Amino acid sequence: MVGIVDVAKKANVSTATVSRVLTKPETVRETTTEKVLKAIEALNYQPNLLARQLRRLETNTILVVVPDITNPFFSKVLRGIEAVAVANGYQVLLGDTGNDVEREKGYLNILQQKKADGMVLLTARMDAAAVEEVARCFPVVLACEYIEGSRIPTVSIDNISGARKAAEYLIDLGHVRIGCITGPLDIVLSRDRLKGFYQAMARKNLIVDPVLVQEGDFSFDSGFNLMMKFFALGQLPTAIFAASDDMAMGVIKAIKSKGLKVPEDISVLGFDNLKFSSIFEPGLTTIAQPAFEIGEKAMELLMKLINKEEVKREQIILADQLVVRESVRTI
Amino acid sequence: MVGIVDVAKKANVSTATVSRVLTKPETVRETTTEKVLKAIEALNYQPNLLARQLRRLETNTILVVVPDITNPFFSKVLRGIEAVAVANGYQVLLGDTGNDVEREKGYLNILQQKKADGMVLLTARMDAAAVEEVARCFPVVLACEYIEGSRIPTVSIDNISGARKAAEYLIDLGHVRIGCITGPLDIVLSRDRLKGFYQAMARKNLIVDPVLVQEGDFSFDSGFNLMMKFFALGQLPTAIFAASDDMAMGVIKAIKSKGLKVPEDISVLGFDNLKFSSIFEPGLTTIAQPAFEIGEKAMELLMKLINKEEVKREQIILADQLVVRESVRTI
DNA sequence: GACAATTTTGTAATCGATTACAATCCAAGT
DNA sequence: ACTTGGATTGTAATCGATTACAAAATTGTC
């Protein structure tokens, strides 16, 4: 493999000069620069970034930890992150945890091992203390999720108000007996959406039947199964708020499988606004999260941390939006 | 930051010994090992992987170049890759090209720059010669796509026979006037699927109306628009073979928008078998690609290349499968 | 207890760049 | 011609680990 010394030799200059041509061209005389560039060209030299990074103590790489890259919501956030990263000359190391807390923990080491300059977490199921500890020493930002009582910079929507908005919409349309299918309750964000649901019900003086609140795992299947459970229990609400579009679609499939119709017989409202939510029939009424923008903002925040710039607002809340389609009707 | 010398000092041994404890524990005496581990523990030492990698000239990282991570098909392949990668102690650097050939080229350098030990390309739109050149010096495998006439190891399905199978299925069901919506024809794989379509038509002695062959870009929108074009031209086939499920769904949406029904009025057959294809209504009849497995196999192949093991079969063809649902009917 | 064989540990070179500091060059000013 | 100061260039230290080789320690044998 051709190294900087080969180039230096060929161009008849020192390695320092070659290095300077590559990194601070303004400090070397034009004629020399040309000689060096010619040599680089001739030898097809590519600098070994490992060496540079070791010397500079920076990798120009950031780590993104995702619970499941297969989930279109997360992949869209990731794309937002990636866009800003490459624009700043950074590369993205991908950490898919497959929803496994242990693997999630494992990725924390990567920063200490200097394989990345910073990281954005799209999941924070693990030990909050461990994350805090790492965040004290390295640039870390949370996206989508957050850690209660932590000062780690965060980008997300306001899940409580988003869910409240969703539930109030149902209530305002005359629904009284409303079911809620939540995400896994060991995740803050799931608890927040549930909390928003409760708040809306309380504000409008409606009681929530505990049987109609069921814990899912954000997946299509869990939505389907929990709806079937409602049927089995003979406890039918007139509307259901599902904490993810995936689950909402599962719910609708279940309803259809029983020969009922959405929204005529039961209304369903989701959360996320995936691309498929508009293709699905009926079109899903849902709370839209600006996935791509969450990613962008998170990465911008991370860049600031890495560059040790001042970060004023540490918790960025982006606007969510109720997207009305056809899966909810007036009672 | 605490380095190996700090540990060595604390444990009262040389840096060599510390290093050995970490990498070849069997060569150091038990009591020493303990001392060292205690020091490591006490100082919370984490080795700087950059330094190790520079010395060893390996990164334990592989690069995956994807045209669009947001596409669920690719993210599933990626997941297969990732699974095998972590199982082998490798990390995944993500390169999303956003379907941009220039960015695709840019990623080729990463290997020469020693930021990754190998790469798997899920897209190969760029200059074949450039890829070949890199592949001559570094471990590279292609997944899904391939380069004509190249000996670069490849994992994919047989797109020609897959498409032929699809078209023959339609023909056997009595369809004669069949439309085909292809992927971008600058991609081999799109051309292959089109070729398979032609082969099937020829074998059964059917003529294909050139108006009914239109070039899409794999997206939902292009499927929708091209179907609308068929309507506008007044050229309706009884069945359409779309080269991706996304496009197939677009086609179906367009058909529905005209008040017609699938499969009653027009049959539609897709390609990929995305998760949504079974949720969509009507359930999509489609050619299933083993996305996760393609990723796994590709990464296994790459591991072999990296470890300089013998690679016997360089072109791995995985089995595709016709999945029959409700979007196609007998004429 | 002496010696050889073996195990364990230490010293210092090394990976391939960057960069502090020193040396050299060159043009302008006197 | 001789300084002088800024622009260029070179020398060698450095980043933080690994590892070849040498040295020291241990074990076994007679």
The nucleotide whose C1' lies nearest the CA of B27 is: C8
CATH architecture assigned to B59-157+291-319: 3-Layer(aba) Sandwich (3.40)
Q: Where are the beta strands (DSSP E) in chain A?
A: 61-66, 91-96, 118-121, 140-143, 154-157, 178-182, 213-215, 239-242, 267-272, 285-288, 315-318, 321-323
Q: DSSP label at A139?
A: -
Fold category of B4-47 in CATH: 434 Repressor (Amino-terminal Domain) (1.10.260)
Longest distance between any two alpha carbons in chain B, whole Å: 86
| H or E element at residue B321 | strand B321-323
pLDDT at position A140 over 80: yes
pLDDT at position B185 over 80: yes
B96–A82 C-beta distance less than 8 A: yes
Q: Do domains A4-47 and A59-157+291-320 have the same CATH topology?
A: no
Place of tokens 């939505």: A223
**How far apart (Å, rounded) are the C-alpha atoms in residues A186 and A194?**
12
pLDDT digits (tens, 9 = 90+) for B29-68: 999 999 999 999 999 999 999 999 999 999 999 999 999 9
The gap between B276 CA and D1 C1' (Å) is 87
The nucleotide whose C1' lies nearest the CA of A30 is: D8
pLDDT at position B313 over 80: no
> Residue A321: what residue type?
Q
pLDDT digits (tens, 9 = 90+) for A276-326: 999 999 999 999 999 999 999 999 999 999 998 877 778 999 999 999 999
**Closest chain A residue to B138, measured at CA:** A1
Nearest CA to A122 out of A146, A148, A98, A149 is that of A146
Residue-wise over A59-78: b if at least 16 C-beta within 10 A, else e? bbbbbbbbbbbbbbbbbbbb
In this complex, the answer to whether residue B15 has its CB under 7 A from any atom of chain D, a nucleic strand, is yes
**A59-157+291-320 CATH:** 3.40.50.2300
* Residue in B51, B61, B110 closest to A54 by CB: B51
**How far apart (Å, rounded) are the C-alpha atoms in residues A327 and B226?**
28
A200 contacts A193 by C-beta, under 8 angstroms: no
Q: For a pLDDT cut of 70, what percent of chain B falls above it? A: 100
Q: Would you give the end-to-end CA distance of chain A in angstroms?
A: 73
Question: How confident is the model over A163-187, as a mean pLDDT?
Answer: 96
pLDDT of residue A149: 86
**How far apart (Å, rounded) are the C-alpha atoms in residues B208 and B201?**
7
The gap between B26 CA and C5 C1' (Å) is 19
**Going by C-beta distance under 8 Å and a sequence separation of 6 or more, which residues neighbour residue B102?**
none
Cis peptide before B72 (omega within 30 of 0): no
Q: For a pLDDT cut of 90, what percent of chain B falls above it? A: 92
pLDDT of residue A313: 75
- CA-based nearest distance A66→chain B, Å: 11
Fold category of B159-289 in CATH: Rossmann fold (3.40.50)
In this complex, the answer to whether residue A32 has its CB under 7 A from any atom of chain D, a nucleic strand, is yes
Cis peptide before A25 (omega within 30 of 0): no
- Nearest residue, CA→C1' of C20: A16
**Domain locations along chain B:** 4-47, 59-157+291-319, 159-289
pLDDT of residue A196: 97
**Going by C-beta distance under 8 Å and a sequence separation of 6 or more, which residues neighbour residue A108?**
A126, A130, A131, A134
Question: Dihedrals φ, ψ of A99, to 5°?
Answer: 60, 20
Cis peptide before B290 (omega within 30 of 0): no
